[in-house]
Structure 1
Amino acid sequence: MSSIITYLLTVIHYQYKQICWLTLFIAKYIPLKQWAHDDAHSPKYQKFKTDILPKVINYEIWDYNELIQYYKERYNYTVKPVNRRSECTIPEDCHCPRCSAPLPYLYKNNGSKGQILCKVCQTRFNPENKYNQPLKLRCPYCANALVHKKDRKHFIVHKCVNSKCSYYLNNLKKVDKDDQADYGKNKYKLHYIYREFTVDFFRMDLDSLPKNASSLKFSKNNAYIMSLCLTLHVNLGLSLRKTSQALKDLYNINVSHTMVANYAKTAAVVIKPFVDHYDYNVSNTIVADETYIKVRGIKGYIWFIMDAVTRSIIGYRVSDNRGVGPCIMAMAMAFRHIKKLPEKFKFVADGYSAYPLAAQQFALKDENPLNFDITKVIGLTNDDAVSKEFRPFKQMVERLNRSFKATYRCSCGYDNFDGANYAVSLWVAYYNFLRPHQSKSYQVLNPVDMLNNADNMPGKWQLLIFLGQQTILNMQKDQSA
């Protein structure tokens, strides 16, 4: 029996040596499949990365009498007043801001520099500075306190200024030796940075549209003419003036381009709640991208988030900036009906830093937090394994941008952001519920039984307006309840 065990141990030891030799051979002579993009390790692209969350330390307020009693009962230790060997220069009315310990329990911690240490709770403070930090943010790498550096429009920038922080030293090693001077290394993001948002984007209204829409009570025309205007303007991509001219030439209907704009704005206000609150049954892969538009010659942005399986637009946002705020609003619309992420969930986007920063905010939500990572498809060529695998998903949303631009170019931009909002809302409604898609055998993406009963497109627009009205009534009943 002992000989068999000895033989088996010899075989195991031999196999272990063979595995170690093969591992070393593969590591030296066989290049593994590249998974990370080469530029991802460059310090030039460090500023596009989102750092992990900081450590949050909560400083609770105590009573020094209770603490002294606790030390006595728990550890049999009595906290005695400070035994001073020289004259005390601390003001008599000074007390610990955390446990309210009086002067006999306070002494100078760093001599004449002004810092005082409480002997009861071990709190360091300066009597000249107001103690107003119940929460303290610390670097997750070196535990050093973060410094308030900058105030932005929607967030506060906190920075770790510790020159011995491991995060800083590792990033500094990647910088060229020529740039490691004081001013040269300022070109790169080397220190740990945390952005504390001062605006709660999750409490903002996602259904806002222009309030000056006209009524659906027609004095001259009727609902059919309104839906005919929508068919020419949205489905066929005609501008407001060409829509007015087409109605005159084809049907001898006199409708000004201003009235066409009023019809479109009113229809957008009514249809948008149905489109945004529709349950699209989101799959486990979502793709996002942003593209630019022109508003009176000034660059604006539109964010599209689509389901990679059904290809429906589940989130969109028009904004005048490319910050993280509009990105969070578009993602909040996409996750409106999601309480738990499906298994193997993927959120595919480009390398823009707003997406991982927005994902970090979703993980910090008080209600229904969502934890997910951003799968980045970087560049236009497949230089890494991630881009090669997920490039088809990125091409889907790029194709969506081209489809939108085809109907957007005819208007040569928008006059204001209100016009851009209602135009995009109508186009999303047409894309999700009315437009035949080649990938679906020229069927609509989201079939609705009521819309299938209509014989022509103006009739479908009228039924879509009716569905929007029913959605608004249901929302009002829920709010009243």
Structure 2
Amino acid sequence: MDNIILYLLKIIQEQYQQICWLILFICRYIPLKQWAHDELHSPKYQKFLTDKLPVIKPFIKQDWQLWNGYYLLRYGKAVKPVKPQKGKPRNVPTDTACPLCGAPHDYIYDNSGGRGQFKCKICGQTFVNGEKVTSPFKLQCPYCGHALKPVKDRKHFRIHKCVNDSCPYYRRNLTKLPKGLPQSEYWKYKLRYLYREFSVNFFDMELNQLPKWATSFRYKKNNAYIMGLCLTYRVNLKLSLRQTVQALKEIHGIDISHTMVNNYAKTAAVIIRPFVDSYDYNPSNELAADETYIKIKGIKAYVWLIMDKVTRSILGYQVSTSRDVGPCILTMRMAFDKFKEFPDRTLKFIADGYSAYPLAAQQFKIEKGWDVFITQVIGLTNDDEVSKKFRPFKQVIERLNRTFRESYRVTCGYGTDGGAIHSVSLWVAYYNFLRPHEKSGGREPLNKVELLEGAGNMPGKWQLLIYLGQQELLKQQQG
């Protein structure tokens, strides 16, 4: 009995030592005081915020003679032509003129030692070869009016920063820093005003590229019904290419190669997509967006989806190899094109905490003048009122992601970018028009098309869907 008591006391002492060690570890390495900056616990996971738009001073054509007259009145002397250095010829061509004020070549400096950049002595504008202006407009901080300075160049945008230490925005953020924080740790916090100037206009890109060969079929060996069977097994039943070939051979006695099945799927995707994208979905003002992961050539890629929370239809979709703001803008464009009139402030757009969505919303404000307010539901738990209120939106789009991945999982990844795009396009067509949805108790698809209702089986519906796509293609080409 005494041995048991001694043994238990020894265990208690060891546990006490472990508890003391854990308490010391927590006190030394885990701060108990929360971060005071923007009500976040760690600067590593601060919520991404987009600043308001800068003040833009556009490029306005001016008259160099008026400038020179102003200098004469203000300073008592006009600006004289540029004098060449002794023994060195001027490298400014005689036909060069300032693109801003129109000053002739006599008032133009060679600003880069013969490498093509010039500077006007009248207005100070720099330009290249008299054509390309290096600063077509000027960006100013909306808080202090100081000119923004470009600090970083990224793939699709340039970051401009306000470097004015007296900027009210900067001074206000300094007061939010934790007390006693060394200046070497300031980089962990967003203190200065930032603006991202995009170098690629994602609003001029074509959402649908229509190949000329995609308006007709020529079957040398098979027919349209066999193509409908291929799509039924491939898309509806989620079979791989070789499983589709095996099913056609063992069930229907049709001998076909997996390459032919792939070609049928690719052609059908190109033809059906215009009908799917131009269909009148009559969307509501409640949209949910998310992105999920796929593999292309063994490398992670992304599928962007935007769905109508009320009708459950997919309004926008894109496949991209990078998780940038570009494909996010294209997906939002595709979804917003479904509106006959943009709902503006009444639109409820729910997304996760990824930074691409508020950046895309800012670009819509610049290009279209639309106020797109992004409600971001962050995390898996309802830690705030916003997450608690809009969690059902996030759950709907997450359920859509799982439905898509069920059809994608059998492929073990895509071999090409085009294959991924065509597969996603076919799946969206199937989801919106052919798949019985739980919203109707599994009896009807989301969008009922009268022509498709007359088909007796699924291969026939695929054939009619291809026909509708062909008609839409012809309409777009003629229009």
TM-score by length of 1: 0.77
Q: Which residue of 1 aligns with 2:369?
A: 369
Of the three residues 336, 355, 358, the one matched with 2:357 is 355
Matched, 1:404 2:408: no
Verify the 8 A CA contact 2:336 2:342 in the aligned structure 1.
Answer: no
Q: Give deviations 1:286-341, integer Å, cap 9, x for gaps.
A: 11000110112110000000011101000000000000000011111111143532
Matched, 1:415 2:412: no
Equivalent position amino acid for 2:157 in 1:
F
Provide the C-alpha distance between the structure 1 equivalents of 2:450 and 2:98, rounded to a whole number of angstroms.
70
- 1:193 positional shift: 1.2
Q: Which residue of 2 aligns with 1:225?
A: 226
Verify the 8 A CA contact 1:43 1:175 in the aligned structure 2.
Answer: no
- Cα–Cα, structure 1 residues 364 and 93, in superposed 2: closer, same or farther, change >3 Å? farther
% identical aligned pairs: 57
Provide the C-alpha distance between the structure 2 equivalents of 1:188 and 1:412, rounded to a whole number of angstroms.
41
Of the three residues 140, 143, 149, the one matched with 1:141 is 143
Matched, 1:53 2:48: no
Provide the C-alpha distance between the structure 1 equivalents of 2:305 and 2:226, rounded to a whole number of angstroms.
31
User: What RMSD over aligned residues (CA atoms) do the two structures have, in Å?
Assistant: 3.5
Verify the 8 A CA contact 1:53 1:140 in the aligned structure 2.
Answer: yes
Unpaired stretches in structure 2, ≥5 consecutive residues: 1-36, 86-96, 105-120
Provide the C-alpha distance between the structure 2 equivalents of 1:62 and 1:311, rounded to a whole number of angstroms.
54
Q: Which residue of 2 aligns with 1:330?
A: 331
Verify the 8 A CA contact 1:240 1:257 in the aligned structure 2.
Answer: yes
Provide the C-alpha distance between the structure 1 equivalents of 2:245 and 2:455, rounded to a whole number of angstroms.
24
Q: Which residue of 2 aligns with 1:31?
A: none
Matched, 1:245 2:246: yes
Verify the 8 A CA contact 2:140 2:147 in the aligned structure 1.
Answer: yes
- 1:66 positional shift: 4.0
Of the three residues 148, 161, 164, the one matched with 2:163 is 161
Q: Give deviations 1:212-252, integer Å, cap 9, x for gaps.
A: 98972111111111100100110011111111111111111
Provide the C-alpha distance between the structure 2 equivalents of 1:138 and 1:51, rounded to a whole number of angstroms.
13
Verify the 8 A CA contact 2:216 2:470 in the aligned structure 1.
Answer: no
Q: Which residue of 2 aligns with 1:171?
A: 173
Q: Which residue of 1 aligns with 2:76?
A: 81
Provide the C-alpha distance between the structure 2 equivalents of 1:98 and 1:256, rounded to a whole number of angstroms.
64
Q: Which residue of 2 aligns with 1:24?
A: none
Equivalent position amino acid for 1:172 in 2:
L
- 1:125 positional shift: 8.3
- 1:281 positional shift: 1.1
Q: Which residue of 1 aligns with 2:199?
A: 198
SS of 2:175's partner is helix
Q: Which residue of 2 aligns with 1:457?
A: 458
Q: Which residue of 2 aligns with 1:431?
A: 431
Q: Give deviations 1:62-93, integer Å, cap 9, x for gaps.
A: 3365468899xxxxx9545059xxxx999668
- 1:170 positional shift: 2.5
Equivalent position amino acid for 1:380 in 2:
L
Bigger Cα displacement from structure 2, 411-420 vs 52-61: 52-61
Q: Which residue of 1 aligns with 2:384?
A: 384
Equivalent position amino acid for 2:159 in 1:
V
Verify the 8 A CA contact 2:61 2:100 in the aligned structure 1.
Answer: yes
- Cα–Cα, structure 1 residues 61 and 256, in superposed 2: closer, same or farther, change >3 Å? closer
Provide the C-alpha distance between the structure 1 equivalents of 2:474 and 2:214, rounded to a whole number of angstroms.
18
Matched, 1:150 2:152: yes
- 1:379 positional shift: 1.0
Provide the C-alpha distance between the structure 2 equivalents of 1:266 and 1:412, rounded to a whole number of angstroms.
22
Q: Give deviations 1:445-465, integer Å, cap 9, x for gaps.
A: 110000001111111000000
- Cα–Cα, structure 1 residues 39 and 215, in superposed 2: closer, same or farther, change >3 Å? farther
Q: Which residue of 1 aligns with 2:183?
A: 181
Bigger Cα displacement from structure 2, 44-53 vs 90-99: 90-99
Verify the 8 A CA contact 1:248 1:254 in the aligned structure 2.
Answer: yes
SS of 1:420's partner is helix
Verify the 8 A CA contact 2:126 2:134 in the aligned structure 1.
Answer: no
- Cα–Cα, structure 1 residues 258 and 382, in superposed 2: closer, same or farther, change >3 Å? same
Provide the C-alpha distance between the structure 1 equivalents of 2:226 and 2:415, rounded to a whole number of angstroms.
24
Matched, 1:317 2:318: yes
- Cα–Cα, structure 1 residues 65 and 376, in superposed 2: closer, same or farther, change >3 Å? same
